[in-house]
Amino acid sequence: MKINLQRAITSLTNALDFVGTDEFQHGKRVALMSAAIAHEMNWSQSHRVRMLYAGMLHDCGVSRAKEHRAITETLEWEGAQKHCLRGADYLAACPPLANFSSIVLWHHTRWTALLQEDLSEDVRLEANLIFLADRTDVLLAPYFVGAALKNEILWEYPEVIKRIADMGGTLFAPLLVDAFRRAASRESFWLAMDPTYIEDQIDDQLHSSRPVELDTVGALAIAGLFAHTVDAKSSYTLEHSTRVAGIARHLAEASGIRGEHLDMVEIAGLLHDIGKLRVPEEIIDKPGPLTREERAFVMRHSYDSGHILRKVFPGQPIAEWAALHHENLLGTGYPFHCQATDIPLEARLIAVADIFQALSQERPYREHMAKNDVMSRIDSLSNQGRIDPEMVKLLHSQLDRCFELAVG
């Protein structure tokens, strides 16, 4: 299996951009502004593309809407360092994207402090450029209503430029501020940020760059990175996706699946809940029953996962396996109400791994359960005809290893 890195990053960061629930496309705007300023700096085309990626990925350490809000509403927030450290760690562990780790680590550090650090000039400027674009986006926030950019920006942008320029020499490198001033003095700089144009703008720039293909090992690494982001959404779901992926892979292997097919099952397990980035954490963490409005957020997450993954893995069944993880054999699952015959084996496997791991882990509404209690719940779901009895039989035969993978 081969995937296109450009497409993978743009689609997966769409999910990141939903973390701000009421404020979205932040990563894409930072990407576009960074690339435009890099152009003014006369950086090479590949360097500009690197800044596009860095912009899209820079907040991969942010999973919670509350944190997203604090970072995007305050110019200098004292808690900002945490998401830099988290994001840098995730990226360092992902070989295809490891060279973005240091940019992300330093993207909320003042220029004056960066000069004291033992860093290459490139990393200093790249990290500070992301910081500058990121803070510009904070000042830009009042110019968005719903999915539209207000025309006011076309006469008020000099004020935004001035506020950033005032921070030149302290927060931002004077060289970058000069380049920003030149780039941002054109209306086109701001109009490109219109929510209806922004994706095309990014695609156009990526199209002109050389496509990068990833093999299955690379795809697994990228899936692992985004699984970390999803799992960090709530302390109750820590490691949920990575563990579901491990269980699903183990069960798939025990059922006779081999080779790349196993990697694909693991990838679907890692990313099955990527749509949850859109669910506010108050809902995931809520101990009591959900309201109709809250439940709607939950009901759409597996659909959203499928939508994102179809773009990352076109022509592959991975998106379908992930999208169907809340369907059941009675046809009463969500959101498709699939009949049993329409649910492939791999989706059944992921569904069982998902339920098994969730029951084994503590949740806001209950303590974690002992192995035997988990299995009696699983057996009862199987007896009701909801989950595949063959998969449950497999799980029983591999119980010790699966429990270790679930919570060990």
> Which residues participate in catalysis according to the annotation?
276
* Of residues 353-382, those binding Fe ion (CB under 5 A): 354
The minimum distance between CB 59 and Fe ion, in angstroms, equals 4
Residues 176/128, Cβ–Cβ less than 8 Å: yes
- Minimum Å gap between C-beta 327 and Fe ion is 11
Query: Considering only 58-66, 221-229, 257-265, 290-298, which stretch makes contact with Fe ion by CB under 5 A?
Result: 58-66
Segment contacting Fe ion by CB under 5 A, of 154-162, 348-356, 366-374, 394-402: 348-356
Query: How far is Cα 293 from Cα 256, in angstroms, rounded to an integer?
Result: 42
**Is residue 273 a contact residue for Fe ion (CB under 5 A)?**
yes
Nearest to Fe ion of 4, 234 (CB atom):
234
Binding of Fe ion by 320 (CB under 5 A) = no
Name the residue among 202, 119, 189 with its Cα closest to residue 154: 189
Closer CB to Fe ion, 126 or 134, in the complex: 134
CB nearer Fe ion, residue 9 or residue 214:
9
Q: How far is CA 330 from CA 326, 327, 350, 354, in A?
A: 12, 9, 17, 18
| Cα–Cα distance, 197 to 194 (Å, whole number) | 5
Dihedral, CA of residue 186, residue 191, residue 197 and residue 198, to nearest 10:
70
What tokens does 37 get? Answer: 């300023």
Using the rule CB under 5 A, is 346 a contact of Fe ion?
no
Sole window of 182-190, 202-210, 351-359, 397-405 interacting with Fe ion (rule: CB under 5 A): 351-359
Which C-beta is closer to Fe ion: that of 273 or that of 281? Answer: 273
CB of 335 to Fe ion, least distance (A): 11
Give the C-alpha separation, 304 to 293, whole Å. Answer: 17
Q: Which is nearer to Fe ion, 4 or 67 (CB)?
A: 67
Residue whose CB is less far from Fe ion, 218 or 233: 233
Question: Would you tell me how many other CB atoms lie within 10 Å of the CB of residue 89?
Answer: 16
Spatial CA neighbour of 371 closest among 382, 392, 357: 357
Give how many residues touch Fe ion by CB under 5 A.
4
Choose the binding region for Fe ion from 49-57, 147-155, 273-281, 307-315 (rule: CB under 5 A).
273-281
Residue 366 exposure: Cα atoms within 13 Å on the Cβ side: 10
Say whether residue 59 binds Fe ion (CB under 5 A). yes
The token duo for 288 is 């009591």
Q: How far is the CB of 271 from Fe ion (least distance, A)?
A: 10
Our finding on whether 17 is near Fe ion (CB under 5 A) is no
Nearer to Fe ion, 134 or 263 (CB): 134
**Amino acid found at 10:** T
Find the shortest distance in angstroms from Cβ 334 to Fe ion.
10
CA distance 379 to 359: 13
Tokens of 262: 């196993």
Does position 126 interact with Fe ion (CB under 5 A)? The reply is no
Residue closer to Fe ion by CB (options 4, 357) is 357
Minimum Å gap between C-beta 277 and Fe ion is: 12
Contact assessment for residue 96 and residue 226, using Cβ atoms and an 8 Å cutoff: no
Query: What single DSSP character describes residue 41?
Result: T
Q: Which residues in 170-229 contact Fe ion (CB under 5 A)?
A: none
3 state SS of 334: coil
Q: Which stretch binds Fe ion (CB under 5 A): 53-61, 77-85, 221-229, 330-338?
A: 53-61
Non-local (6+) Cβ contacts of 296 within 8 A are none
Q: What is the dihedral of CA 165, 167, 170, 171, to 10 degrees?
A: -110
Residue 155 CB, nearest approach to Fe ion (Å) = 26
Q: Least distance (Å) from Fe ion to the CB of residue 134?
A: 4
Residue type, 244: V
Among 158-166, 169-177, 313-321, 349-357, the segment contacting Fe ion (CB under 5 A): 349-357
Contact, 54 vs 34, CB < 8 A?
yes
Most distant CA pair in the chain, distance: 69
Q: Which residues have C-beta within 8 Å of that of residue 200, sequence separation ≥ 6?
A: none
Q: Which of 17, 67, 126, 134 binds Fe ion (CB under 5 A)?
A: 134
Binding residues for Fe ion, rule: CB under 5 A, are 59, 134, 273, 354
